[in-house]
Structure 1
Amino acid sequence: MKRNIIMMVATVIAAFTMTGCTMTKMGVAYMGFPSEAQDAYAEMMGNLSETGDPAQAMMKEWLITDEDLTEDDIFDEMKSLAGDFNMRFVGEKPMFRIKDPKPNQVSRARIGEFCSLGVAKKMLDHSRFYGGFMPCRVIYVEYGDGRRYLVSMDMTLALYGGTDKKPIDPALMEDMKNIMNAMEKIPLKAAGYDQQIDADKAMIKYYTEKGINERLPTIKK
């Protein structure tokens, strides 16, 4: 609640002090959104403000700290987990392998694709533009310094970023929540964690010990 109030106040101030009409329209639109949409946009804008990276603001990631987990282990686990969440593993695409990479250069990348065809059809019936999100993807990324991640789209805005002008049917909303849960839990567990808080703490510990200057997760109580 406090964050929402701060965000709304900041939006109003920006609307009248930055770029006139455009910001005014943005501020009015924001304050008219449901609270879930306000939270979603506030989270994205906070990430964007901190990192300057719009791609990062729309994604979730899980750092793999268990050195015993191989790339193939991780993909085998994701394939196995898909059925547990009523998803299908529908394909994978090895992107590239680079020899002798620089520490901050991506040396390996591989995409896994997931789908629930029944839910996908209902999402397309609601809005064909959801097709741009399909199939759901998780990408494995490895850097030259040994850091390894699983990255997937943050579906929060896909669910809560709209308005009452085009409401999502409650039954479809429940289906989409299940998809979002799957696309968070599958990479979480494949990366070696049971709970998100464990993944967040592991990332903070790893970044602190290695002196990595990147955005740290916020531990939610």
Structure 2
Amino acid sequence: MKFFKNLFAIIGLLITILIIYLWFALDLGTRIEQVKQLDPKAKDVYTHMMSTLLETGDIGKATVRKVKVEKGIEPDEVVDALNSVATEMGIKPVGDLPLSKEVALRTGKPQPYTRVLSYCNPAIAIKMVKWSMAYGAYLPCRITLMQDKNGDYWLYTLDLDMMIHGGKPLPPDMLKYGNQVKNTIYTMMDKAAHGDF
């Protein structure tokens, strides 16, 4: 019995030393204060991202939003719907890269359908990059239409909650613009996936 008491005392001492070491080595006091300054929704954003990452091991899957296109809707119909809804919602189509077609032409081998479409609201985009130049990496907003190995079509875009809620709370005007872009891109995807335009 005395052996176990001594063993637990040693283990307790080692854990205490480890905690003290980590507190100072990782500057946890400062880190805790920094975490408290993040947007209230940041925890949910990163919890979702980490659980997807741990489940799949794929950072790409952890940082995107995807929507399955209903069966029977052809790729050209999806693109027409995206462009129609974009125009209706005040966002401009600014790029169209038929990736699979390009690669097939270069290699002579058919490729799974992949088309990258780019959209931008210039007025909002310039405000976002004036506030933080790093937002330039998110420009223009991209939606990729792809075909999986089963022949199903999917729409992919970045998880825009990371841009909106992943850091310190955005100023009210930037929060409004970020949510406007997110709602526009997500609405475009949802409508196009159901052929609703």
Distance in 2 between residues matched to 1:46 and 1:32, nearest whole Å: 23
Q: How high is the sequence identity, in percent, across the aligned residues?
A: 25
- Identify which of 109, 112, 134 aligns with 2:139: 134
Aligned length: 170
Taking a change above 3 Å as real, the CA distance of residues 144 and 50 of structure 1, as seen in their structure-2 partners, is closer
Shift of 1:33: 2.6
Which SS does the other structure have where 1:132 is aligned?
A: helix
Question: Which consecutive residues of structure 1, in runs of 5 or more, have no partner in the other structure?
Answer: 1-15, 195-221
Aligned to 2:9: none
Q: Deviations over 1:168-193 (max 9, x none)?
A: 32122111101000111101110117
Cα distance in structure 2, aligned partners of 1:23 and 1:138: 40
Residue correspondence of structure 1 range 183-194 to structure 2 within 5 A: 183-192=185-194
Which residue, out of 83, 94, 97, partners 1:93?
A: 97
Pick the structure with greater CA Rg: 2
Q: 1:50 to 1:157 in 2, by over 3 A?
A: same
Q: Which amino acid aligns with 1:154?
A: D
Q: Distance in 2 between matches of 1:41 and 1:26?
A: 19
CA 1:176–1:37 in 2, change beyond 3 Å: closer, same or farther? Answer: same
- TM-score, length basis structure 1: 0.69
Deviations 1:32-56 (CA, angstroms, capped at 9, x unpaired): 5332111111111111111111111
1:25-104 equivalence runs, <5 A: 28=32, 29-67=34-72, 69-97=73-101
User: C-alpha offsets along residues 57-93 of structure 1, whole Å, 9 cap, x if unaligned?
Assistant: 11000111322x1111000111100022221111210
| CA-based RMSD | 2.6
Is 2:153 the counterpart of 1:148?
A: yes
TM-score (norm 2): 0.76
Paired residue type of 1:151: Y
- Aligned-partner Cα distance in 2 for 1:55–1:121: 27
Instruction: Report the CA distance between 1:143 and its aligned residue.
Output: 2.4
State how far apart, in whole Å, the 2-side matches of 1:160 and 1:38 are. 9
Distance 2:131 2:41 in 1: 19
Assess, with a 3 A threshold, how the Cα gap between structure 1 residues 55 and 42 changes in structure 2: closer, same or farther. Answer: same
Preserved CA contact (<8 Å) 1:100 1:144: no
Bigger helix share? 2
Higher relative contact order (CA 8 A, sep 6+): 2
Instruction: Give how far 1:22 is off.
Output: 4.4
Which of structure 1's runs of 4+ aligned residues deviate more than 2 A?
Answer: 19-34, 97-101
What is the Cα deviation at residue 30 of structure 1?
Answer: 3.7
Deviations 1:71-124 (A, max 9, x none): 1100011110002222111121000145887xxxx6110011110000000100
Letter paired with 2:90? N
CA distance, structure 2, for counterparts of residue 70 and residue 51 of structure 1: 29
Which residues of structure 2 form unaligned runs of 5+?
A: 1-17
For residue 45 of structure 1, what is the amino acid of its counterpart?
M
